[in-house]
Homo-oligomer: A and B are copies of this chain.
Amino acid sequence: MSDVAIGLDVGGTKTLGVLVNREGVILDELKSSTPHDAQGGAGAATGKVLSEQVATFAQRHELDLATLPIGIGMPGMVRRDGRLAFAPNLQTVSGASFPELLKELLGSELVFMENDGNCAALGEYAWGAGRGVENFVMVTLGTGIGGGIIADGELVRGQSGFGGEIGHMAVEARGALCGCGGYGCWERYASGGGLARLTFEWAAEGRLPQLVELCGGAQNVRGEDVTRAANEGLVEALTLMNDVAWWLARGLANLVAILDTGHFVIGGGLSVVADLLLPSAREHLVDFTFGYDRRPPIVVVTSDLTVHAGALGAAKVAFDRQP
């Protein structure tokens, strides 16, 4: 059994690799651009980037590739057998089997794949803000909303391994169109992308007059302009952030009803403005949650592992699933 593992978190723009020991300490770290190059078949370009990171770690730390456990976190529907069924934000890798690719390229035998949100949940459960919490949900607020569910200490993988796609829960039956083809998905309201969409709508509707003037036109107002202005106390920006928090709480309350979740760990890019979202979301939760006052207080905290959650979790997957 190896004392170290590699975790590789493949994002839409960047791929983050970490070398981790069994205590979750990051010993080394690499960052690369994620290629969107379809040449060479499903995932060949991405597979090459991953194998370069692995080879670099192996060389620097004199590791034996045949016995080194490697975990890969992928944004998309990862099957239990490790094959990627679908990656909406990384179309060139759909259908790829990175375990097979890395075996071919490097002779790696111990390569495991898992959805990136599920990795983040496992990372926070092992070494982060979910440590020791047997029932919690990881919620990653990025362009969309990803996540992972821990129930009685186990990841909820579901029939095929696709569990935890919480961002595609519809909270508004005939609501905003989503990239997945559905309507009213949670991530169209409470993610970074949701903030961008709401900003565009509010600006066009004249509900952000000061920001529109400041940015030189409704079409120029971005989500970051709203968060910056909200941090500076601009009322119209704070009102919009409260709307995002309202929607965030909507989805959290649904997860409480379904799973009896008492603990949420919030990560992803939008979590850097947690101060603008979570206090208000916690208040809305009181109204939205079925039987709120019959439950222990619901905890909503930010990620401990922040940008490393996915990669650390991928390494944890590698530690746990090696034979």
A170 to B77, CA, bound (A): 25
A257 to B186, CA, bound (A): 11
Task: Let me know if B151 and A156 touch, CB within 8 A.
Answer: yes
Q: Residues of B contacting A164 with CB < 8 Å?
A: 258, 260
The answer, yes or no, to whether A86 is at the interface (CB within 8 Å) is: yes
| Contact status of A295 and B261, CB under 8 A, knowing A151-B156, A170-B253, A170-B254 | no
Indicate with 1 or 0, residue by residue over A150-164, a CB within 8 angstroms of chain B CB atoms: 011010111111111
Partner of A260, one of B161, B181, B258, B262: B161
Stretch at the interface among A7-15, A35-43, A104-112, A286-294: A286-294
From residue A102, how far is it (CB to closest CB) to chain B in Å? 23
The answer, yes or no, to whether A180 is at the interface (CB within 8 Å) is: yes
A18 to B152, CA, bound (A): 30
Partner of A258, one of B152, B175, B253, B255: B255
Copy number in the complex reads 2
Partner of A168, one of B170, B181, B263, B290: B290
Indicate with 1 or 0, residue by residue over A281-320, a CB within 8 angstroms of chain B CB atoms: 0000001101100111000000000000000000000000
Q: Residues of B contacting A152 with CB < 8 Å?
A: 154, 156-157
10 pairs of A and B residues whose beta carbons are closest in the complex: A158-B260, A159-B262, A168-B290, A163-B260, A162-B260, A168-B257, A85-B294, A169-B254, A86-B294, A135-B159
10 chain-A/chain-B pairs, Cβ below 8 angstroms: A77-B291, A85-B295, A152-B157, A156-B259, A159-B262, A162-B294, A165-B291, A169-B254, A169-B258, A173-B175
